[in-house]
Chain A
Amino acid sequence: MVTGATAPGKKSLQTTLEISRAVKAYYGGVQAAKQEGKPIVWSYGLIPREIFHAVGAPVIYLEHLPLLMSTKQLSGRYCQIAEEEGFSRDVCAFHRCFIGCAAEEEKHPYLAKFWAPPDLIVASNLPCMSESKSFLYAANHFNCPYFFIDAPINIWGKEIPDYAVEYYAGQLGEALDFLGGYGYRLDWAKLKEAVALSRRLVYLWREIDEYRKAIPAPMGIVDGLTCAFPLIQLPGTKLGVELYERLRDEIKERVENKIGVLEEEKLRLLWIGVPPFYNMGLLNYPEQYGAIVVKSFVEYLAGGAFDPAIMDPEKPLESLATKALVDIVNPTYQNMIDFAVQTAKDFSVDGQIALVKRSCGLIPGVLRLVKDAVYQADGIPTTIFDLDGMDLREYDDAATKANIDSFIETLLDSKRRG
């Protein structure tokens, strides 16, 4: 259902279309594997994807399927089904949507394009309680075995101590043993290759980010969100690297030719929190004021905000463990706050739009911290308001736009006054 209040977002890049096709092909591959009788893995939490690619396991990630449902305005329907199954409206709408997809008896034709039931589950508590708990429903519903990976929170900052790396890496090894028990045998050479490819992917992502800092912005948030797919789901694959090489080339050309999304950029904004996937058009809404949303924090939520030099293909499990634990989404939040301050500065933003997704246990808790830190560092203001980017039923278009209008008008006004 597309209501008057929802509209698709505008994309400007050729590579974005290729990545969209890669998404469809990815799920096509999972469904083909199911038909061949291969066990399908469902994975929850930000477990390093490289382990699955290294053993050739077809995986559906919780983080992505609800997002696809939301782009077709189906997330509210699936949240509703989960609530009928006994889940509170206060728990994460991503997870409710996923649970709803699992529980629906006759799959909606759009869901059917991406759907494959699980044979195995590999879950983790990184970064939030939702990740660590909602999979229990699926394990029970489909009666399938699961392996749980416990991630220590990051209380250390940029340097993760050996005992924590060892603990997490050990569990990744056990998860690989678990997968091995279902036919997905580990070949160490492949795992090392996956880590090397993953490192290359993050280097490319950082190079792309460097171009994205240009004024005018060569690429906006709608493209950015689609283009985050390889970072989130394809680390450790050749395909991910190829797609980012193409993206890098395309964006480089735009920057060299000074092609921006907007002809005249009056304001540059950063988007913090879950964007309304059911109404991506909202992300273009500020453009009528000459304001461009240059970047979304969600793009970093599964990696890409760390120094890829920490990855050493010769120590694959330790590298993946370090990468996971140092990730900015792993509480506690000093890394995320530092990163937010740096990003706001590097992208030359004038203001930040931060959303409270009421049902999220993670992001709302850091908004005040990020707001204060970014303001103290560079005087950049942040507006914070309610918007559940996943559950369309919670969306109030008029209130959302009024919040954006007043924030942008204030920013423009203060810019005029110098």
Chain B
Amino acid sequence: MSTIDTMRDILHNPERLVADWKAQGKKIVGYRCIYVPEEIIWAAGMWPYPIFGTPEAITQADSYFQPCTCEFIRNIFDHALDGKLNFLDGLVLCNTCDAVRHLYDMWITYIKVPDCHIINNPQKMYDESGYKYYCVELKRFKSEMENLSGNGISDESLQSAINLHNQTRGLLKELYSLRKKDPPLISGGEALDIVMASMLMPKDKCNQQLQQLIAEVKTRESPKTRGPRILITGSIIDDPTLIQLVEEVGGVVVADDLCTTTKYFWQEVGQNKDPLDALSRYNTERCLCSCMHPPERRFDYLWELIEEFGANGVIYFNLKYCHPFLYEAALFREKLAAKDVPTLMLEVDHSLSGLGQLRTRIQAFIEML
């Protein structure tokens, strides 16, 4: 099996890895989203396990959440109600959008086990008072994870977790640099699978796989097909169907600004003699999500990606009822128009209903480019 297939297999069938981990008497902590510092969970000897959705229709969750709640969150809650997340020993959420905050209340009321924790991170970045406040929050979170795991977290173990996770970030960035080529050496659909698998896997295993994968991809022959270079930004995408659709109709997805791709790894945790402080700085100086302020910084980061990857057009993907991205959509379209970047705005549900219509719109956009 090629490395990419191995990674995909783990992403889609993590049960064996989960069983192995549990067999060692170790705990698994689910988390959502990128502002949860995985390093603290790892340093406590637990596996930080990102929760993704699946493209299935919602069943039971609809009697808890109203249908006007982000479908991704309802999908996750459906999995919890179905018992599909029973292998988790804890769940960690953070302060992002309304839907995630609701998930916390729903979880502690109706799911109860495992324990759900929430990190009360600030939403205003680059602010000294927010950073100070967050330092206290992270200390609280650290001690919660120590209690959950039964292990103390020393500065050394935290620093080594940071180093390990930084290595993953660096490797993913190196892999992404291979997308800068024209045409790129990996497709958009592959990139999404690789990053999601990397997010999911314990990082020691993941880093070995990534090194191998980079070596393999470098030996690939350059693909023959060329087309407009597309960057996808917006709400969470946790299934490659939409990206593949863009590629099927002639677009070449060269970069993505998503919480399942670059937002996860674009910046590294800085070096600091106090590793907890380094994490505090990291998470209060990363304005990558539209839940955070100021949006100008998020645009700067998007612009950096557009330039670095030579994108000719942007697809701004909104999940239905994903308020943070929906509110910024008009602003971003205007900013992109001012820089002469053609942009297609899409508002789609998580299960991607109406795929035919979507295909026509994307095709028209690609042809226009």
Contacts and interface: CB of A to CB of B under 8 A. Distances in A.
Do A and B originate from a single complex?
yes
A384 B63 CA distance: 11
B180 interface: no
A186 B241 CA distance: 56
Contact of A85 (B106, B109, B330): B330
A368 B130 contact: no
Given A150-B123, A152-B122, A153-B120, A130 B327 contact: yes
B331 A136 contact: yes
B130, B323, B324: most-surrounded residue (chain A CB, <10 A): B323
A366 B129 contact: no
B331 A140 contact: yes
B104 A332 contact: yes
Contacts of B263: none
A328 to B, nearest CB: 13
A170 interface: yes
B148 interface: no
Contacts of B129: 167, 170-171, 174
A133 B333 contact: no
A137 B331 contact: yes
Contacts of B105: 331-334, 365-366, 369
Given A150-B130, A358-B68, A128 B98 contact: yes
Contact of B133 (A90, A153, A167, A360): A167
Contacts of B333: 86
Contact of B326 (A90, A136, A334, A384): A90
B95 A129 contact: no
A368 B65 contact: yes
B102, B294, B345: most-surrounded residue (chain A CB, <10 A): B102
A152 B118 CA distance: 12
A358 B118 CA distance: 26
A91 interface: yes
A368 B64 contact: yes
A88 interface: yes
A303 to B, nearest CB: 20
A85 B330 CA distance: 7
Contacts of A132: 123, 291, 293
A366 B327 contact: no
How big is chain A's contact interface, by range? 35 or more
A174 B64 CA distance: 40
A364 interface: yes
Contacts, number: 133
A155 B120 CA distance: 8
A359 interface: yes
B214 interface: no
B334 interface: yes
Interface in B105-144: 105-106, 109, 118, 120, 122-124, 127, 129-130, 132-133, 136
B293 A167 contact: no
A152 B293 contact: no
Given A150-B124, A356-B68, A362 B326 contact: no
A339 interface: no
A367 B66 contact: yes
Contacts of A148: 124, 293-294
Nearest to B124: A150
A166 B134 CA distance: 12
B133 A152 contact: yes
A365 B69 contact: yes
A152 B120 contact: yes
A10 to B, nearest CB: 30
B81 interface: no
Given A90-B321, A90-B326, A155-B118, A167 B98 contact: no
Interface string A73-111: 000000000000111101110010000000000000000
B97 interface: yes
A133 B133 contact: no
A113 B327 CA distance: 28
B298 to A, nearest CB: 11
Nearest to B291: A129
A136 B318 CA distance: 18
A215 interface: no
Contacts of A365: 65-66, 69, 98-99, 101-102, 105
Interface in B273-328: 290-291, 293-295, 318, 320-321, 323-324, 326-328
Contacts of A372: 109
Nearest to A356: B66
B327 A134 contact: yes
A365 B74 CA distance: 11
Contacts of B98: 128-129, 331, 361-362, 365
Nearest to B69: A365
A186 to B, nearest CB: 18
Given A148-B293, A361-B323, A90 B347 contact: yes
Contact of B97 (A129, A137, A367, A368): A129
Contacts of B336: none
B331 A125 contact: no
B329 interface: yes
Contact of B290 (A88, A133, A333, A359): A133
Closest 4 CB pairs of A and B: A86-B330, A133-B327, A361-B98, A365-B102
Interface of B: 63-66, 68-69, 95, 97-99, 101-102, 104-106, 109, 118, 120, 122-124, 127, 129-130, 132-133, 136, 290-291, 293-295, 318, 320-321, 323-324, 326-331, 333-334, 345, 347
Interface of A: 85-88, 90-92, 95, 125, 128-130, 132-134, 136-137, 140, 148, 150, 152-153, 155, 163-164, 166-167, 170-171, 174, 331-334, 356, 358-362, 364-369, 372, 384
19 contacts: A86-B333, A91-B327, A128-B98, A132-B123, A132-B293, A133-B290, A137-B327, A148-B124, A148-B294, A150-B124, A167-B130, A171-B129, A331-B101, A331-B105, A332-B105, A360-B68, A362-B98, A372-B109, A384-B66
